[in-house]
Structure 1
Amino acid sequence: MPSRMTSPKADIRTINIDALKEGMFVVSITSQTGKTSIAQSGRITQSKQVTVLKNKGVKVVNVDWSRSVFAEQDSEQKSTEISSSSSKPKKRSGESEKQAAKKLFNEAKSLQTKYFKQLQQGEPIDIEPMEKAAEGLIDSLENQSNAMLCLAKIRAKDKYLMEHSLNVGMLLAYFGRSLGMNRTKQKQLLMGGMLHDIGKINTPDEILHKPGRLTDDEFVIMREHVVHSHNILKEQEGISKIMLEIASNHHERLDGLGYPNQLKGDELSAYTRMANIVDCYDALTADRVYKSGMPPTAAFRILLSGVGTQFDKALVEKFIRCMGVYPVGTLVKLKSGKLGVVVERNELKPLQPVIKQVFNTLTNTHTEVKLVDLSKYAHEEIESAVSARDYGISLDRYLSE
């Protein structure tokens, strides 16, 4: 186990304003209609404070559960009120929650593989198991978001299609929650992401896995996967409008130059615009057999370069804010020459996340793994995000611990 160099970790949870109660410690506003800002974080001590925030247009806030104080006899009830789900799992320790998150993640991957095989053989799928898996994943994204985002960064280069689809689903749900979308919408976003590329089961393997640039003719065939996805999913029971829309439109663009239907502007819903962003981001940051993924910060620059033509400007900015300046799983270089993997975001100080220190570039050696909360060490600052490939580092071992 890595040694810990910090005080107890914050337990940041995103909740709707209607769930905000006395005793909760608010750290930031994530969704609002006005321009209210919190000068400093603090605990809600009176119900009228919640009323003031509501009147100022606040919709969603981040609460530090570890610093919130409830009457002991009410703590279980308060925890239940946070969720729109009627059956929340019992509170687990941090370590057991991580193990539960890992189990859920692996079960979702297995389920997705099963669906792809069934559809490839022309068999219908039962959507109910996916709905249950989505419920569990959303719970974990709420209670163990850092652990889930770490798991999403662990990729097998030869399983890109399956893992890309699951990650797009999880990131869409995570993004939707940050925008204040309710649990039902989050679940549909997650399931839509998991199935958005299902049409690629009809794409020839030599094109799907080609280690290089596609020819014009091959690209025409590749683009057909969107139509295949639409045709496959519209015949399945339990596929919602949002899920079908994500699969059908995730390659459309604001300027009308996307495919397959050249939709543009107002013809693209918020869900489609979100899927465009998340699908591109995950594709850019994923390792594949023939190339390494780019650092998240580089992917953010590409997203920003496409605002107004390919992507919705406001949503790109909100996605970057949702993921953080240095998203979980980013390898960063400190000014001291040390390298660390971001394992936990800092909502209040986004430039000072918690990292696992793993490498020293001055001596070109791996170091003892240490958890370092950069907000506690003034002399340690991030210089830049770097590529693990440049230092011969495999991030998977550090992200899975």
Structure 2
Amino acid sequence: MSVLPLSTENYQNVAIRDIKLGMFVIAVTKQKGDIHFKPGMVSSEATCRSLQSMGVLEVKIDLTRSKHQQETLLENPESNLAPEEQVQEIMTPTEKKESRKQAQKLYAEAKILQTKLLDALKNGEVVDIAPLEAMADEMVDSIFKNPDAMIFLSRIREKDTYLMEHSLNVGMLLANFGRYLKLSRQTIKDLLVGGLLHDTGKVMVPDEILHKPGRLTPDEFVIMKKHVEYSVQFLDKAEGISSIMRTVAANHHERLDGLGYPRGLKGLELCLISRISTIVDVFDALTADRCYKKGMQATQAFHILLQGAGTQFDETLVKQFIKCMGIYPIGSLVKLKTGKLALVIESNTETPLQPVVKIIYSTTGQHYLDVKIVDLARNTTEEIENVVHPKAYGIDISQFF
């Protein structure tokens, strides 16, 4: 197994007075006198006092192996939240329509940028992420303004564009999950760019393996797994790559139980960003149509994530991701008990089983209906029966955005 070198951005010097439980200390950087130190996790207040009594003034910690960041974010998410990001804007119907148009425009522009990026990498050019970062700023603004619009777009896919759209969708889903977890705006932006870049190494994988319509052989899988290594190599040559972007690329195939790749990291070796990336990457891959398989419904993908919770995936984060996406995620096609088909267009956080839907089709009459938007939380005659696949009825959901 090849080992990916850690970026220096994964390390941080911390004064001893600022040391926190859960930090993984790898070295003493400032001290009084001779100190014999063994790297490890700061697991108790006694350890902190012991380091101080020994004359330690400053230590270097490994962020990828530290637990303090994850605990802080999950137990007290407000601590990472800028004041202006705490309240989502309330919009009029007209403003919502305009925000959807803006989201669609940004998504189209992002697809063009992503395609240019992948083409540049295929030609051996160095990645320039400045255009991506500028686009990411606008996309983060759009996600804060109307997250449902961006998530809807992530559900619309075209044939033969999996690599580009998967990376774009992972970036948007990561950013939206970061918003839900109330991470800082800069972290959310880095998550988005990290998602855009996380699979860039796949341009180095032969097409006959990348697009093989069936299970890979053990030898082919070894080649496929190298895409992570290639991605990190691309990022290490680029300017402006943050530790978060690099972590998304390096660790999105790692697993809590250590059975992931390429480094087989496990447990506390996986930071919050790594755990989020794994969940989002798997969810988008499961729900995507490929040349050799039909993508599953979001509810089925949730079931698989829950099955792996506690072993492959962080259980707390899996449950939070499902809450973030909603029981009926934006873009889902649902069948109502009246026999009508409706597209989920907005979530209702207070009543997750009753989202806002756009009724579009009659299964009894087998014909399209005049489009009608219904808030199921306020409607007593319509109720969701189950989720259906658009292809079962020959419906293209993109025309109803």
Q: Please tell me the TM-score bracket, short chain as reference.
A: 0.7 to 0.9
What TM-score, normalized to structure 2?
Answer: 0.77
Question: Cα distance 1:101–1:381, how it changes in 2: closer, same or farther (>3 A)?
Answer: same
Partner of residue 233 from structure 2, selected from 231, 234, 252: 231
CA distance in 2, matches of 1:126, 1:304: 37
- Partner amino acid for 2:90? W
Q: Mapping of 1:145-156 within 5 angstroms? A: 145-156=147-158
Once the two structures are overlaid, the 10-residue window that deviates more, 130-139 or 102-111, is 102-111
SS in 1 for 2:253: coil
Amino acid at match of 1:335: K
Is the CA contact (8 Å cut-off) linking 1:32 and 1:59 kept in structure 2? no
* CA-based RMSD: 2.3
Kindly state the Cα deviation for residue 60 of structure 1 after the two structures are TM-superposed: 8.2
What is aligned with 2:197? Answer: 195
Tell me the distance in 2 between the aligned counterparts of 1:216 and 1:287: 24
Instruction: Tell me, yes or no, if structure 1 residue 267 matches structure 2 residue 269.
Output: yes
Question: Hey, what does 1:5 align to over in structure 2?
Answer: none
Q: Return the match for 1:101 from 103, 106, 109.
A: 103
Shift of 1:201: 0.6
Mapped partners of 1:370, 1:213: distance in 2: 43
* Equivalent AA in structure 2 for residue 331 of structure 1: L
Residue 390 of structure 1: how far off its partner (Å) = 2.0
Deviation, structure 1 residue 333 = 1.1
Which residue in the other structure is 1:80 paired with?
none
Match of 2:219? 217
Q: Give the corresponding residue for 1:308.
A: 310
**Count of equivalent residues:** 325
**Letter matched to residue 122 of structure 1:** G
The one-letter amino acid paired with 1:103 is K
Per-residue deviation, 1:368:
2.0
Q: Which of 368, 371, 374 is matched with 2:370 structurally?
A: 368
- Mark the CA change 1:205 to 1:191 in structure 2 (over 3 Å): closer, same or farther: same
Partners of 1:219 and 1:123 in 2: CA distance: 26
Query: Partner of 1:318 in structure 2?
Result: 320
Whole-Å separation in 2 of the counterparts to 1:126 and 1:227: 19
Are 2:74 and 2:181, in contact at CA under 8 Å, matched by a contact in 1? no
TM superposition shift of 1:97: 2.4
Distance 1:63 1:187, change over 3 A: closer
Counterpart position of 2:181: 179
- 2:391 alignment partner AA: R
**Displacement after TM superposition at 1:190 (Å):** 0.3
Which range moved further: 121-130 or 327-336? Answer: 121-130
Is the CA contact (8 Å cut-off) linking 1:169 and 1:192 kept in structure 2? yes
Give 1:33 deviation, angstroms.
Answer: 4.3
The C-alpha deviation readout for 1:205-242, integer Å capped at 9, x for no partner, is 11111122222221121111111111111111111111
**Which residue of the partner structure matches residue 164 of structure 2?**
162
Partner amino acid, structure 2, of 1:311: F
Q: Is the 8 A contact 2:171 2:192 kept in 1?
A: yes
Deviation beyond 6 Å, 4+ runs, structure 1 = none
> How much does 1:59 deviate?
12
Whole-Å Cα distance in 2 between the matches of residues 286 and 277 of structure 1? 15
Query: What amino acid maps onto 1:340 in structure 2?
Result: A
The amino acid of 2:231's aligned partner reads S
Question: Are residues 207 and 188 of structure 1, via their aligned partners in 2, closer, same or farther at CA, if it must alter by over 3 Å?
Answer: same
1:393 counterpart residue number: 395
User: 2:69 corresponds to which residue?
Assistant: none
Following superposition, the deviation at residue 260 of structure 1 comes to: 0.7
1:133 equivalent to 2:135? Answer yes
Q: Residues 45-73 of structure 1: CA distance to partner in whole angstroms, max 9, x if unpaired?
A: xxxxxxxx99xxx9986556259xxxxxx
Q: 1:180 to 1:371 in 2, by over 3 A?
A: same
The verdict on how the C-alpha distance between 1:61 and 1:97 changes in structure 2, with shifts beyond 3 A counting, is: closer
- Over 3 Å counting, the alpha-carbon distance change for 1:260 and 1:33 in structure 2 is closer
Counterpart for residue 297 of structure 2? 295
Between stretches 197-206 and 358-367, larger displacement belongs to 358-367
Deviation sequence 1:125-173 (CA, Å, 0-9, x none): 2221111100000011111212211111111121000000000001101
Percent of aligned pairs sharing the same letter: 52
Q: What CA distance in whole angstroms lies between the structure 2 residues aligned with 1:392 and 1:142? A: 33
Deviations 1:74-106 (A, max 9, x none): xxxxxxxxxxxxxxxxxx833332222211111
Farther-moved stretch of structure 1 (176-185 vs 58-67): 58-67
Q: Which amino acid aligns with 1:128?
A: A
**1:354 to partner: Cα distance:** 0.9
Superposed CA offset, 1:276-329 (max 9, x none): 000000111112233221111111000000011110000000001111111101
Q: Please tell me whether Structure 1 or Structure 2 has the larger radius of gyration of its CA atoms.
A: 2
The letter for the 1-side match of 2:249 is: A
**CA distance 1:216–1:104, shift in 2 (3 Å):** same
SS at match of 1:224: helix
Paired position in structure 2 for 1:285: 287
In structure 2, the residue matched to 1:333 is 335
**Matched residue of 2:275: which SS?**
helix
* Of 137-146 and 190-199, the range deviating more from structure 2: 137-146
Q: Mind listing any 5+ residue stretches in structure 1 that lack a counterpart?
A: 1-30, 35-52, 68-91
Whether the aligned pair in 2 keeps the contact of 1:292 and 1:389 (CA below 8 Å) is no
Aligned partners of 1:172 and 1:239: how far apart in 2? 17
Note the C-alpha offset of 1:188.
Answer: 0.5
- Checking the alignment, whether the CA contact within 8 Å between 2:360 and 2:370 is kept in structure 1 is yes
Tell me the distance in 2 between the aligned counterparts of 1:182 and 1:315: 17
Q: Secondary structure at the match of 1:310?
A: coil
For each residue in 1:14-57, what CA deviation from the matched residue of structure 2 results, as whole angstroms up to 9, or x when unmatched? xxxxxxxxxxxxxxxxx9848xxxxxxxxxxxxxxxxxx99xxx
Change (3 A) 1:263 1:62: same
Q: Distance in 1 between matches of 2:96 and 2:269?
A: 44
Alignment partners' CA distance in 1, 2:347 and 2:136? 23
